[in-house]
Amino acid sequence: MLNTAIIGMGRWGQTLVNSVQGRNDAGLRFVAGCTGRPERAAAWAAEKGIRILPDFDAVLADPEVQAVAIASPHGMHAAQVMAAARAGKHVFVEKPFTMTKASAVAAVAACRAAGVVMALGHNRRFLPAVAEMKAMLADGRLGTLLHVEGQFSGPGAIAYKPGMWRADPKESPLGGMGGMGIHMVDMFIHLAGRIAEVTVQSRALAIDNGLDDTTAGLFRFASGATANFATLAYAPRMWRVGLFGTDAWAVLHGHENLIVCTRDGTPEERVFPATDIEAAELTAFAAAVAGGPAYPLPVEDAIHSVAVYEAMIGAAASGSTYAVA
């Protein structure tokens, strides 16, 4: 078992713990952690058998802790990843990985220098339907990929109040990008490869808490294929990603419903089994630490997703098309 500490015990930190705690097949157990408001998490941590330590430094100094799972505010990720690596702790970090490409490169370099595993929490890579979409691209069933569509939206911003870190535009530039849209950027990279340039519009149309609620973009991949993208932070929840090729298209609605249509055919729907993608990603992380298969998200993709995010912020601010560094 990989003894792991949870960094940040808010809603998502608790979700990660709840997905694997007490499961012998996960290869990982949470034994300690720290959080900004320990009084709010005390009862839950006691129930889960997690020791709350005073701060991140105390976690890194704890000899029982072999790895950390970072679910802290976005702006803290880079420094925490590098500090964990220097302490010899393996790292699972939530998205967005970091807020700048330079800090992402530095964080990856620190993990490589320390010889620790670094895993990024883009959980939808673990969906069986996504694996099928990737296989369809690889074996030619879609033909030449021409275009990708993606939307990840949800009403989370309704609950963001002044004083909450997620309500800080520095932590949540481009509204829903940090919590939702960055997952779709990773999905684009996973399925269609490197993104070469972005054009973005982002604004607040419905909320007045200082964040954008409507962010949309046009992308061009290095392959020449194009994409359109949206993340809406004040709309009903939606996950949809579509691949459009010369021979067929495939559109995933939600996590399980994949609809495929060939050029001369009629749409056919295939329903995949529901998957605990948080448990899957943490189990894959533990397996990689134990010497098993490499974590199925290359660190180069982790860096590239941050570079795309950074370019999107610049493109939205300038009203121009930005090349991805």
Examine the pLDDT at 314 and tell me if it is beyond 80.
yes
The pTM (predicted TM-score) of the whole model is: 0.96
Identify the helix (H) or strand (E) that includes residue 8.
none
Q: Which of 239, 151, 132 is nearest to 191 (CA)?
A: 132
**Residue 63 has what pLDDT?**
98
Q: How confident is the model at residue 278 (pLDDT cuts 50, 70, 90)?
A: very high
Q: Are residues 179 and 309 in the same domain?
A: yes
Examine the pLDDT at 245 and tell me if it is beyond 90.
yes
Q: Residue 281 belongs to what domain range?
A: 127-323
Query: How far apart, in Å, are the Cα atoms of 280 and each of 105, 134, 301?
Result: 26, 18, 19
Within 10 A of 258 (CB to CB), how many other CB atoms are there? Answer: 23
**Residue 159 has what pLDDT?**
80
**Residue 302 has what pLDDT?**
98
Amino acid at 247: D
Examine the pLDDT at 206 and tell me if it is beyond 80.
yes
- The pLDDT tens digits for 115-168 are 999 999 999 999 999 999 999 999 999 999 999 999 999 998 888 877 787 778
Q: Are residues 80 and 136 in the same domain?
A: no
Q: Are residues 157 and 291 in the same domain?
A: yes
The CB-based long-range contact list for 162-169 (8 Å cut-off, 24+ gap) reads: 162/209, 162/210, 165/73, 166/73, 167/209, 167/210, 167/211, 168/210, 169/210, 169/211
Q: How confident is the model at residue 42 (pLDDT cuts 50, 70, 90)?
A: very high
**Residue 61 has what pLDDT?**
98
Q: Are residues 97 and 147 in the same domain?
A: no
Q: Are residues 278 and 317 in the same domain?
A: yes
- The pLDDT tens digits for 56-104 are 999 999 999 999 999 999 999 999 999 999 999 999 999 999 999 999 9
**Residue 169 has what pLDDT?**
79
Last residue of a domain, one of 123, 156, 184: 123
- The pLDDT tens digits for 209-243 are 888 999 999 999 999 999 999 999 999 999 999 99
Q: Are residues 159 and 185 in the same domain?
A: yes
**Residue 162 has what pLDDT?**
77
- The pLDDT tens digits for 248-270 are 999 999 999 999 999 988 999 99
Amino acid at 274: A
Residue range 34-46: mean pLDDT, rounded: 96
Examine the pLDDT at 37 and tell me if it is beyond 80.
yes
Peptide bond into 96 cis (omega under 30): yes
Q: Are residues 132 and 179 in the same domain?
A: yes
What's the domain count of the chain?
A: 2
Residue range 189-207: mean pLDDT, rounded: 96
Last residue of a domain, one of 63, 89, 123: 123
Q: Which range, of 176-180, 183-187, 242-246, averages the lowest pLDDT?
A: 176-180
Examine the pLDDT at 36 and tell me if it is beyond 80.
yes
Is the Cα torsion angle 180, 186, 187, 192 positive or negative in sign? positive
Output the domain CATH number for residue 245: 3.30.360.10
With a CB cutoff of 8 Å and minimum separation 6, the contacts of 248 are 136, 141, 142, 143, 260, 261, 262, 263, 265
Q: Are residues 85 and 170 in the same domain?
A: no
Residue range 159-181: mean pLDDT, rounded: 85
Output the domain CATH number for residue 47: 3.40.50.720
Strand, coil or helix: 281: helix
End-to-end CA distance of the chain: 39
Q: How confident is the model at residue 287 (pLDDT cuts 50, 70, 90)?
A: very high
Q: Are residues 243 and 222 in the same domain?
A: yes
Residue range 192-217: mean pLDDT, rounded: 94
Q: Are residues 71 and 150 in the same domain?
A: no
- For residues 209 and 303, the model is more confident at 303
Q: Which residues pair with 152 in a beta bridge?
A: 239
Dist CA 318 CA 312 (whole Å): 10
Tell how far CA 162 is from the center of its chain: 24
Residue tagged 């991805």 (tokens): 324
**Residue 288 has what pLDDT?**
98
Last residue of a domain, one of 123, 144, 165: 123
Residue range 300-306: mean pLDDT, rounded: 98
With a CB cutoff of 8 Å and minimum separation 6, the contacts of 67 are 2, 3, 4, 5, 28, 89, 90, 91, 92, 117, 285, 289
Q: Are residues 114 and 154 in the same domain?
A: no
Dist CA 71 CA 73 (whole Å): 7
Q: Are residues 68 and 131 in the same domain?
A: no
Dist CA 69 CA 248 (whole Å): 39
Examine the pLDDT at 309 and tell me if it is beyond 80.
yes
Q: What is the mean pLDDT of the chain?
A: 96
Query: How far apart, in Å, are the Cα atoms of 155 and each of 53, 133, 158, 228, 237?
Result: 33, 27, 6, 21, 7
